[in-house]
Structure 1
Amino acid sequence: MSVATTAQLKAEEIKPKIGSRVLNSKEELLSGEIARDIRDLLEARGVLVFPKIGFTDEEQIAFTKTLGTFAPERAGGAEEISKITLDVKENPSSAEYLKGSLYWHIDGTRNDVPILASLLSCKVPSPKGTGNTGFANTYSAYDDLPEDKKAEYEQYRVIHGPWASLFYYEPEPSLAKLQGYAGIGEQELPLVWKHQSGRKSLVIGCTAAAVVGKTPLESAMIIHGLRDWATGPEFTYSHEWDVGDLVMWDNTGTMHRAEAYDPTCGRMMHRTKLEGEEPFE
């Protein structure tokens, strides 16, 4: 007689305020039996690392779909892997745009509903000591602010646009390039996101251009001051990649960035995403 077994989530903390390693087998992950527990842990910890799990592209897509609704790279697009690299030979259409990924950001700040999460698997790492991916828990960063600062920041709204990130790596862009980035769109968002769960997180990063009603200098002091706070050592984790690693992060309460590497080194990541489930509010 066969006996039904139910997989249980096996995880360990990486740092007190961010990150957990998930130690379940590939078969347990693909079964979907612990999907709800993974979702809960993701919200609680911000970043989940699946060390050397070695998913194929098909398995990564299948695993992503156990956790929510698969988000195609383009509206109406196929359920497929996105190649993430700065190598223009491998990624000629978006390597230039991905330069903004080297700076702290949240994906989808030009949208009403940003993606819920991204899953990134390592196919080719950069040389050790380069090309890590950094993460910052903006839930924890908000929670640890002084109460008077929380009350102040909850009043503010911020203009976000991909054009703002352009100035991080190209301080004097041509008008044509600036117009192209501006054409992607922008959005006015709350500085503090009041989630449906009752938790709150900071909405900051390199797409943040200006605080509504503040001077340029006042805006910069707020935006960059909060970035410095939220990327302090207690709120951040830097993942050094090995082939086969999968890392998943909560895009609604975590900033991320790629750390500098040689674009010609062959570093290659494969990404899938989960559709967003709540608007910025």
Structure 2
Amino acid sequence: MEEQSTEVDMAGEGESDFQVADIKPNIGSIIHADKSALLTGEYTSALRGLLEARGVLVFPGVHLTDQEQIDFTKTLGNFSREIFGDEIYKVTLDTNENARADYLKGAFYWHIDGTMSETPILASILSAKVLPATGGNTEFCNTYAAYEALSADRQWAIDGLRVKHAFWGSQLYHNPEPTLAKLEEWMALGSKELPLVWRHRSGRKSLVLGNSAQAVLDVDAEESAKILHGLREWATSEPFFYSHQWQAGDMVMWDNTGTMHRATPYDPSSGRLMHRTKLEGEEPFQ
């Protein structure tokens, strides 16, 4: 884990059961907190504020059970069940644990969850259950901070641009030569026209990028590619980037509306297993 800044006591005068340490200036904070207090919702307001401000919150070695993770998630907002109604989603390439594991192969490339939805999820919470011997980090970038660091001229040039996003485009990253049947299966999951710059209700703006972004509308194909690849390169560069090297029992939460993320490669037979819960979205792309 990267170098931390000075810890901030948020528990009150003389107390130390909730401490925050920034990981990097533009992204990430480590939270040291009493588990029982987390589960009561005592720190909900502080955590939600930190989530929007920092993008990624790391709870090292907190070792929540599945039920505790569900209960904790529910303290933070409206709980989002998975597509088939499950409360916990198993993030793994092991098809014995997740029959639809093939769809997760797109997660090795930068993305935002829910670009095919009217209202994307607000946040995801991931707990480490089984770790590979090597690899398998989860990497993040802060798309709020990346937009805000652009020059005024660059911001002006991209504000108002619209981008076509498609699920099938994200799958071509790991399977660039699918059968027609497979391509049609992916295409059935839809496409979406989204803003390149998301104007949030808070007044802040973030970049909407990732492996589902196919083309900037009404722009020459070559210029479109330069815009999307250039902004992705910028947003994922060192000032806005954090790579979490998992330890057993870690829990990480990220703001899905203001970050991108990806997994780094690992041995598919390693049994790497993460348990995910989600918060329902609270504002549409606009």
**What TM bracket, shorter-length normalisation?**
over 0.9
TM-score if structure 2 supplies the norm length?
0.93
Does 1:103 find its partner at 2:112?
Answer: no
Would the aligned equivalents of 1:11 and 1:22 in 2 still touch at CA under 8 Å? yes
Cα offset, 1:214, TM superposition: 1.5
Percent identity, aligned pairs only, is 57
Cα offset, 1:216, TM superposition: 2.1
The alignment of Structure 1 onto Structure 2 pairs a total of residues equal to 273
Does 1:52 find its partner at 2:52?
Answer: no
The one-letter code matched in structure 1 to 2:139 is G
Gap regions ≥5 residues in structure 2:
1-10
Separation in 2, partners of 1:210, 1:261: 30
Separation in 2, partners of 1:20, 1:40: 12
Match of residue 174 from structure 2 = 169
Match of residue 264 from structure 1 = 269
Match of residue 37 from structure 2 = 28
1:84-142 Cα distance to aligned partner (Å, 9 max, x none): 001223222x21110000000000001110000000000011113x0000000000000
Alignment counterpart, residue 245 of structure 2, candidates 240, 244, 254: 240
Displacement over 3 Å in runs of 4+ = 5-9
TM-score if structure 1 supplies the norm length?
0.94
Match of residue 153 from structure 1 = 158
Cα offset, 1:9, TM superposition: 3.8
Would the aligned equivalents of 2:123 and 2:254 in 1 still touch at CA under 8 Å? yes
The one-letter code matched in structure 2 to 1:83 is K
Would the aligned equivalents of 1:83 and 1:269 in 2 still touch at CA under 8 Å? yes
Separation in 2, partners of 1:122, 1:47: 16
Match of residue 120 from structure 1 = 126
The one-letter code matched in structure 2 to 1:99 is K
- Greater mean deviation of Cα atoms: 199-208 or 119-128: 119-128
Separation in 1, partners of 2:38, 2:136: 27
Separation in 2, partners of 1:126, 1:241: 10
Match of residue 51 from structure 2 = 42
Does 1:228 find its partner at 2:237?
Answer: no
The one-letter code matched in structure 2 to 1:260 is P
Would the aligned equivalents of 2:18 and 2:34 in 1 still touch at CA under 8 Å? no
Match of residue 73 from structure 2 = 64
Separation in 1, partners of 2:139, 2:206: 18
